[in-house]
Amino acid sequence: MDLVRIDAVHKHFGSNHVLKGIDLRIGAGEVVAIIGRSGSGKSTLLRSINGLESIDDGQIEVDGEKLTAGQTDLRALRQKVGMVFQQFNLFPHLKVGENVMLAPQVVKKMSRADCEPIAKAMLAKVGLAEKFDAYPDQLSGGQQQRVAIARALAMQPKVMLCDEITSALDPELVNEVLAVVKQLAVEGMTLIMVTHEMRFARDVGNKLVFMYQGKVHESGDPKELFANPQTPELQSFIGAIN
Amino acid sequence: MAYHFDFIAVWEYREQLATGALHTLGLIAVGATLGVSLGTLGAVSRAWKIKPFDKIFTVYVEAIRNTPFLVQLFFIFFGLPALGVKLDEWTAAIIAMVVNLGAYSTEIIRAGIQAIPRGQIEAASSLAMTRAQIFRHIVLRPALQKVWPALTSQVVIVMLGSSVCSQISATELTYAANFIQSRNFRAFETYITVALMYLVLAFCVRWLLNKFGSHFVNGRKTT
């Protein structure tokens, strides 16, 4: 049973054809790493899954919620899809706890009393229970990104989208964030991540998607693909990284 | 024949001056509250291109920012009765101030809204918040925070500009000054006194808005 189904998705930015017919199936609990050169469409694909980018053709379905070209009401879909960004994007005027509680309160209309235990549990999960009353700018980049993960988790999504979530971090902070993501994977969360962390993609992922010029060029088991890339493009991409 | 200063001649009219100052404060209190509210609506309409209000506010902002306040006031007070809209001097004064401040604060607050990083709005969207929820919870306070000093200045400018409301017989501070110097013929003493009163009022309004800003807009103790 597929949790995420992407069928023949096309997307243009002006005259630039960025996604040229993407088909992808992702099962519940799968950890998918999308890799590829910049400009290959990997971020656009990820962002179209929760409608941050509109699609021009095709269909995306997440846990029964359909998204098609020209669709404007995305709230039902977005409640099932959490997202973590490269730049954290915490709300600077709200405390850490308020960042995590805001969406459950405003979107799910839960009371603060009901939200607080959830928020505290999510912050504990990312190792930041004691930062409930801190402001985002009092935290390191790695801590901010972990709060962003807790904030997305508080909506109890079915899928988490991670858009290069370690790219803006100092090298010594990358591992604390990856450890949290790995824990989520172990607990069975479905993860779709655009990443440059190839070792993480190989060790934690169970599906690798290589994008090239707006298409899924190659996909399959990460360990196999890294050891044995079938196309010259993936070969040269892996070669350029190593 | 040195000029002999006589401030007692002004002091005798202290009640008119006090009433005038209070009326000026009242005008700006109501004018600023409604004006900034109108400006907030205009700012979000323009920044987020909410149709058809974005176009309406664009025309409104240009019309108001490119005409004199006195002409706006006269149009409302003397012009509108031709259409059967008769307003007393206070209503006309308040409307003129709200309309004027609304236009300027639309542009000021719009700058604040546009300075909110796109990523913040995307993060809120990805949490399934609606545009209205995003505006209220994510955008409004940080946007006001960014432009609060500019907004404070504009409120003070409009308060000082309210002196022209004396021309439609609203008994605010400048009206009191005109009245007093026509009685005691002490123009120098009267106007210097009133100028100092405006100075004090302006300082007070600025101080109050700064306090309000750091309490309710920032909502966070700066350390």
Q: What is the pLDDT of residues A8-32, one digit of tens each?
A: 999 999 999 999 999 999 999 999 9
Q: Is B223 within the bounds of a domain? A: no
Facing residue for B137 by CB, picked from A50, A52, A102: A102
Give domain status of residue B3, yes or no.
no
Render pLDDT for B100-114 as a digit per residue (tens, 0 to 9): 999 999 999 999 999
Surface of A (146-205) touching B: CB under 8 A:
148, 151-152, 155, 161
Residue B217: the pLDDT is 67
Domain that holds residue B127: 8-217
Chain A residue with CA closest to B139: the answer is A91
Domain boundaries, chain A: 81-156
Give chain B's contact residues with A (Cβ, < 8 Å). 117, 119-120, 122-130, 133, 137-138, 141-142, 145, 218-220
- Whole-number mean pLDDT of chain A? 94
Structural domain includes residue B100: yes
Cα–Cα distance, A214 to B128 (Å, whole number): 27
How far is A218 from B156, CA to CA, in rounded Å?
64
Residue B49 confidence (pLDDT):
95
pLDDT band at B219 (very low <50, low <70, confident <90, very high): low
| Residue whose token pair is 């979530």 | A165
Which DSSP state fits A128? -
- The one-letter code for the residue type at A231 is T
What does each C-alpha distance from A66 to A73, A78, A136, A209, A215 come to in angstroms? 11, 11, 34, 22, 21
The yes-or-no verdict on residue B222 having pLDDT over 50 is no
Give the nearest partner residue to A89 out of B120, B145, B219, using CB atoms. B120
Per DSSP bridges, beta strands A215-220 and A207-212 are antiparallel
A17 burial via Cβ count (<10 Å: 0-12, 13-18, 19+): middle
Which of B124, B126, B219 lies nearest to residue A50, judging by beta carbons?
B126
Predicted local confidence at residue A241, as pLDDT: 74
Q: Is A197 left (phi over 0), alpha (psi -120 to 50) or beta?
A: beta
What whole-number distance in Å separates Cα of residue B118 and Cα of residue B102?
26
Task: Using the predicted structure, report yes or no on whether residue B92 has a pLDDT greater than 70.
Answer: yes
* Residue recorded with tokens 């120098």: B188
- Dihedral of CA atoms B149, B154, B155, B160 in degrees, nearest 10, equals 130
CATH number for the domain spanning B168: value is: 1.10.3720.10
The answer to whether the complex's ipTM is over 0.90 is: yes
Domain count, chain B: 1
CB contact under 8 A, B119 and A87: yes
Put the strands of the sheet holding A31-35 in their side by side order.
A81-84, A159-163, A190-194, A31-35, A207-212, A215-220
- Measured in angstroms, the CA of A73 and the nearest CA of chain B are apart by 9
Answer yes or no: is B1 within a domain: no
